[in-house]
Structure 1
Amino acid sequence: MSRMIRITFTVLALAIGGPVAAQDVELPYWASIDTSEAYMRSGPGEQFPIMWVYTREDLPVRVVRLLQGWRYIEEPDGTLGWMSASLLSRQRTAIVIGEDLLPMRADPSEASALRWNLEPGVVGLLGECSAGWCEFEVDRHAGWVEQSRLWGAGEP
């Protein structure tokens, strides 16, 4: 009988403690939209109005608050709202910011060979960043770009 009680308490502890532990993360942090359609809402629940519909998978967002399966996020233009945690990934991505083309280089140096020029608004996978340069991959084309031209790189 005591074995059954221990099993019951273990199951209850996991059921109650799991969601609490999932919310025990350091804020803010970077995330990205993990679906082809995601809704930003005015509050943390499906009963709240939809403010924006995102159709851009991998768009980077900054998570600034957590509440029971919902994330209060900031997107690249500064818009803030709530999104279901199930629509987000911890995959690091970034978006090219600024007005001019961003050179993607073979190595982390302005003197390095030019691979491609990226337009503002291009979204890609973010790799390691060091000394003002970040590894960046767009449609399987990889290289190095200046970190200051990426929203989603660096500390959130």
Structure 2
Amino acid sequence: MNARKLLLPLLVLGIAAATPARAADDDKVPYWASVDTDIANLRVGPGDSYRIDWVYRRPHLPVKVLRREGPWRLIEDPDGAKGWMRDLLLSRQRAGLVKDGGLIEMHAAGSSASPMLWRIEPGVVGMLGACKDGWCGFDTAGHKGFVREDAVWGTGAP
């Protein structure tokens, strides 16, 4: 019976000690995220009382999270605009946006020697897969393949 009384506090203490380490990993910025809703407000400050500066109507738009303040995130969009957005409007799922500069090619594999599947216009948004050797998995509206990493905003280190 005494061993049980001693074991329970140690177990609780062990769980409590492990929790901050995991939370600290979640706090690291910058990181990539994507807009996770059909409509998302970008505010000039971290709170509902701040003016709305921009309204995004583009689900899966990639953003870079620069800072955290409570439930608010300071983000940067592909055009370089910065502002505050609620964490509930964002997903950690990686997305990418085809950069300006003309059509890019989507290939069947991560190589320019593989068959070309589609040409994608600048501004197209897609979900990113793993990136390796300069190529990333890319899925836009069910069209899946590989694109050059340097042709997409939202790849690499944030």
Query: TM-score, length-normalised on structure 1?
Result: 0.85
Secondary structure, aligned partner of 1:127? strand
- Counterpart in the other structure of 1:57: 59
- Counterpart in the other structure of 2:40: 38
- Counterpart in the other structure of 1:137: 139
- For structure 2, the residue ranges without an aligned partner over 5 or more in a row are none
Amino acid paired to 1:101: L
Amino acid paired to 1:30: W
Amino acid paired to 1:69: P
Structure-to-structure mapping, 1:144-155, within 5 angstroms: 144-155=146-157
Moved more, 20-29 or 70-79: 20-29
Aligned to 1:47, which of 23, 44, 49?
49
Kept in 1: contact 2:27–2:68 (CA 8 A) = no
Secondary structure, aligned partner of 1:125? strand
Aligned to 1:86, which of 85, 88, 95?
88
Structure 2 CA distance for partners of 1:38 and 1:22, relative to 1, 3 Å: farther
CA distance in 2, matches of 1:99, 1:116: 16
CA-CA distance at 1:110 after TM superposition:
1.3
Secondary structure, aligned partner of 2:93? coil
CA-CA distance at 1:140 after TM superposition:
1.0
- For structure 1, the residue ranges without an aligned partner over 5 or more in a row are none
Kept in 2: contact 1:23–1:66 (CA 8 A) = no
Q: Quote the sequence identity (%).
A: 49
- Counterpart in the other structure of 1:28: 30
Aligned length: 145
- Counterpart in the other structure of 1:121: 123
CA distance in 2, matches of 1:108, 1:31: 23
Amino acid paired to 2:107: R
CA-CA distance at 1:24 after TM superposition:
4.6
Secondary structure, aligned partner of 2:156? coil
Structure 2 CA distance for partners of 1:89 and 1:60, relative to 1, 3 Å: same
Query: TM-score, length-normalised on structure 2?
Result: 0.84
CA distance in 2, matches of 1:134, 1:24: 24
Amino acid paired to 1:130: K
CA distance in 1, matches of 2:29, 2:50: 24
Kept in 1: contact 2:107–2:145 (CA 8 A) = yes
Secondary structure, aligned partner of 1:86? helix
CA distance in 2, matches of 1:152, 1:21: 24
User: Aligned Cα RMSD in Å?
Assistant: 2.2
